[in-house]
Structure 1
Amino acid sequence: MYLKKIEGPRAVTLPDGRIITRADLPPPDTARWVASRKARLLLALAVGLVTRDYAIETYGLSEEELQSWERLASRHGAEGLRATSIQKYRQP
Protein backbone atom coordinates (compact mmCIF):
# COMPACT_ATOMS: atom_id res chain seq x y z
CA MET A 1 0.00 0.00 0.00
CA TYR A 2 1.29 3.44 -0.90
CA LEU A 3 0.74 6.43 1.41
CA LYS A 4 0.98 9.88 -0.10
CA LYS A 5 3.61 12.06 1.55
CA ILE A 6 2.08 14.91 3.48
CA GLU A 7 3.30 17.59 5.84
CA GLY A 8 2.27 17.16 9.44
CA PRO A 9 0.56 14.29 11.22
CA ARG A 10 -1.97 11.94 9.65
CA ALA A 11 -3.91 11.53 12.89
CA VAL A 12 -4.13 13.30 16.24
CA THR A 13 -5.50 11.95 19.52
CA LEU A 14 -7.71 14.49 21.26
CA PRO A 15 -7.63 14.99 25.06
CA ASP A 16 -10.92 13.09 25.41
CA GLY A 17 -9.42 10.03 23.68
CA ARG A 18 -11.05 10.49 20.27
CA ILE A 19 -8.86 10.36 17.20
CA ILE A 20 -9.20 12.81 14.32
CA THR A 21 -7.56 12.02 10.98
CA ARG A 22 -7.27 13.82 7.68
CA ALA A 23 -9.97 11.48 6.36
CA ASP A 24 -12.38 13.11 8.83
CA LEU A 25 -11.94 16.50 7.18
CA PRO A 26 -14.41 17.80 4.59
CA PRO A 27 -13.55 17.06 0.95
CA PRO A 28 -11.47 19.73 -0.81
CA ASP A 29 -14.31 20.54 -3.23
CA THR A 30 -16.74 21.43 -0.42
CA ALA A 31 -19.05 24.21 -1.54
CA ARG A 32 -21.71 24.00 1.16
CA TRP A 33 -20.20 24.75 4.57
CA VAL A 34 -22.57 23.53 7.25
CA ALA A 35 -21.75 24.11 10.92
CA SER A 36 -20.48 20.58 11.49
CA ARG A 37 -17.94 20.85 8.64
CA LYS A 38 -16.76 24.24 9.88
CA ALA A 39 -16.38 22.85 13.40
CA ARG A 40 -14.43 19.82 12.16
CA LEU A 41 -12.01 22.02 10.21
CA LEU A 42 -11.56 24.37 13.18
CA LEU A 43 -10.86 21.40 15.44
CA ALA A 44 -8.23 20.12 13.01
CA LEU A 45 -6.60 23.56 13.00
CA ALA A 46 -6.67 23.78 16.79
CA VAL A 47 -4.97 20.43 17.37
CA GLY A 48 -2.39 20.92 14.62
CA LEU A 49 -3.66 18.32 12.16
CA VAL A 50 -3.59 20.90 9.35
CA THR A 51 -2.12 24.38 9.03
CA ARG A 52 -3.98 27.60 8.31
CA ASP A 53 -2.23 27.87 4.95
CA TYR A 54 -3.31 24.35 4.03
CA ALA A 55 -6.94 25.09 4.97
CA ILE A 56 -7.02 28.37 3.07
CA GLU A 57 -5.41 26.91 -0.04
CA THR A 58 -7.27 23.59 -0.09
CA TYR A 59 -10.74 24.88 0.68
CA GLY A 60 -10.52 28.25 -1.08
CA LEU A 61 -11.23 30.20 2.10
CA SER A 62 -10.10 33.69 2.91
CA GLU A 63 -8.19 34.55 6.06
CA GLU A 64 -11.06 36.79 7.16
CA GLU A 65 -13.60 34.01 6.71
CA LEU A 66 -11.52 31.59 8.78
CA GLN A 67 -11.01 34.21 11.50
CA SER A 68 -14.75 34.87 11.54
CA TRP A 69 -15.48 31.16 12.06
CA GLU A 70 -12.93 30.99 14.87
CA ARG A 71 -14.36 34.07 16.56
CA LEU A 72 -17.94 32.78 16.35
CA ALA A 73 -16.97 29.31 17.58
CA SER A 74 -15.08 30.71 20.57
CA ARG A 75 -17.96 33.02 21.54
CA HIS A 76 -20.97 30.83 20.80
CA GLY A 77 -19.72 27.29 20.19
CA ALA A 78 -20.81 25.21 17.21
CA GLU A 79 -24.25 26.89 17.23
CA GLY A 80 -22.59 30.19 16.28
CA LEU A 81 -21.31 28.62 13.05
CA ARG A 82 -24.81 28.00 11.71
CA ALA A 83 -25.75 30.23 8.79
CA THR A 84 -29.35 30.42 10.01
CA SER A 85 -28.17 31.99 13.27
CA ILE A 86 -26.47 35.00 11.69
CA GLN A 87 -28.90 37.55 13.12
CA LYS A 88 -28.76 36.03 16.57
CA TYR A 89 -24.99 35.71 16.93
CA ARG A 90 -23.43 38.34 14.67
CA GLN A 91 -24.99 41.46 16.05
CA PRO A 92 -22.69 43.85 17.94
Structure 2
Amino acid sequence: MRQVIGPTGEPLTLDDLPPKNTKRWVIRRKAEVVAAVRGGLITLEDACRRYSLSVEEFLSWQRAIDRNGLPGLRVTRAQQYREEPLTN
Protein backbone atom coordinates (compact mmCIF):
# COMPACT_ATOMS: atom_id res chain seq x y z
CA MET A 1 0.00 0.00 0.00
CA ARG A 2 1.34 3.43 -0.93
CA GLN A 3 2.01 5.93 1.85
CA VAL A 4 3.44 9.38 2.50
CA ILE A 5 4.51 11.12 5.69
CA GLY A 6 1.57 12.98 7.22
CA PRO A 7 1.55 16.26 9.15
CA THR A 8 2.28 14.49 12.46
CA GLY A 9 5.30 12.67 11.02
CA GLU A 10 3.44 9.36 10.88
CA PRO A 11 2.82 7.37 7.68
CA LEU A 12 -0.38 8.36 5.87
CA THR A 13 -2.26 6.06 3.46
CA LEU A 14 -5.49 6.48 1.51
CA ASP A 15 -7.28 4.64 4.33
CA ASP A 16 -6.02 7.25 6.82
CA LEU A 17 -7.44 10.22 4.91
CA PRO A 18 -10.58 11.96 6.17
CA PRO A 19 -13.88 10.39 5.07
CA LYS A 20 -15.33 11.59 1.76
CA ASN A 21 -18.32 13.10 3.56
CA THR A 22 -16.21 15.26 5.90
CA LYS A 23 -17.99 18.48 6.77
CA ARG A 24 -15.95 19.68 9.75
CA TRP A 25 -12.47 20.60 8.56
CA VAL A 26 -10.14 20.72 11.55
CA ILE A 27 -6.47 21.57 11.12
CA ARG A 28 -5.29 17.95 11.13
CA ARG A 29 -7.70 16.90 8.37
CA LYS A 30 -6.77 19.80 6.12
CA ALA A 31 -3.07 19.09 6.67
CA GLU A 32 -3.56 15.40 5.88
CA VAL A 33 -5.18 16.22 2.54
CA VAL A 34 -2.40 18.69 1.67
CA ALA A 35 0.27 16.13 2.62
CA ALA A 36 -1.46 13.45 0.54
CA VAL A 37 -1.53 15.67 -2.55
CA ARG A 38 2.03 16.91 -2.07
CA GLY A 39 3.28 13.36 -1.56
CA GLY A 40 1.50 12.05 -4.65
CA LEU A 41 -0.88 9.81 -2.71
CA ILE A 42 -3.81 11.46 -4.51
CA THR A 43 -3.97 14.11 -7.19
CA LEU A 44 -5.23 17.63 -6.63
CA GLU A 45 -8.18 16.85 -8.89
CA ASP A 46 -9.01 13.69 -6.92
CA ALA A 47 -8.80 15.55 -3.61
CA CYS A 48 -11.08 18.33 -4.84
CA ARG A 49 -13.59 15.86 -6.23
CA ARG A 50 -13.43 13.57 -3.17
CA TYR A 51 -13.99 16.41 -0.69
CA SER A 52 -16.06 18.81 -2.83
CA LEU A 53 -13.33 21.45 -2.60
CA SER A 54 -12.51 24.14 -5.10
CA VAL A 55 -8.93 24.30 -6.32
CA GLU A 56 -8.73 27.76 -4.76
CA GLU A 57 -9.76 26.43 -1.34
CA PHE A 58 -7.18 23.65 -1.46
CA LEU A 59 -4.47 26.06 -2.59
CA SER A 60 -5.38 28.41 0.27
CA TRP A 61 -4.75 25.54 2.72
CA GLN A 62 -1.41 24.85 1.05
CA ARG A 63 -0.39 28.52 1.21
CA ALA A 64 -1.45 28.75 4.86
CA ILE A 65 0.79 25.80 5.74
CA ASP A 66 3.70 27.22 3.72
CA ARG A 67 3.44 30.64 5.37
CA ASN A 68 2.53 29.79 8.96
CA GLY A 69 2.69 26.02 9.44
CA LEU A 70 -0.29 24.15 10.84
CA PRO A 71 -1.51 27.12 12.94
CA GLY A 72 -2.13 28.96 9.67
CA LEU A 73 -4.99 26.55 8.98
CA ARG A 74 -7.03 27.78 11.94
CA VAL A 75 -10.21 29.34 10.63
CA THR A 76 -10.58 31.63 13.64
CA ARG A 77 -7.04 32.89 13.17
CA ALA A 78 -7.17 33.32 9.39
CA GLN A 79 -7.23 37.12 9.52
CA GLN A 80 -4.29 37.18 11.90
CA TYR A 81 -2.10 35.20 9.48
CA ARG A 82 -3.00 37.04 6.30
CA GLU A 83 -0.44 39.33 4.78
CA GLU A 84 -0.83 43.03 5.31
CA PRO A 85 -2.23 44.81 2.24
CA LEU A 86 0.24 46.71 0.14
CA THR A 87 -0.06 50.48 0.44
CA ASN A 88 1.26 52.96 -2.06
TM-score (norm 2): 0.83
What is the percent sequence identity of the aligned residues? 43
How many Å apart are 1:20 and its aligned residue?
Answer: 1.4
- Structure 1: state its 5+ residue gaps: 1-9
How many Å apart are 1:87 and its aligned residue?
Answer: 2.0
How many Å apart are 1:91 and its aligned residue?
Answer: 4.0
Contact preservation (8 Å) 2:12, 2:36: yes
CA RMSD of superposed structures (Å): 1.5
Equivalent in 5, 11, 17 of residue 2 of structure 2? 11
How many Å apart are 1:47 and its aligned residue?
Answer: 0.6
SS of equivalent to 2:12? strand
Return the alpha-carbon distance in structure 1 between the equivalents of residues 31 and 4 of structure 2: 17
- Structure 2: state its 5+ residue gaps: none
Equivalent in 58, 62, 85 of residue 77 of structure 2? 85
Deviations 1:15-39 (A, max 9, x none): xx84211111000000111111000
Equivalent in 37, 53, 61 of residue 61 of structure 1? 53
SS of equivalent to 2:69? helix
Contact preservation (8 Å) 2:20, 2:50: yes
Runs of 4+ aligned structure 1 residues displaced above 6 Å come to none
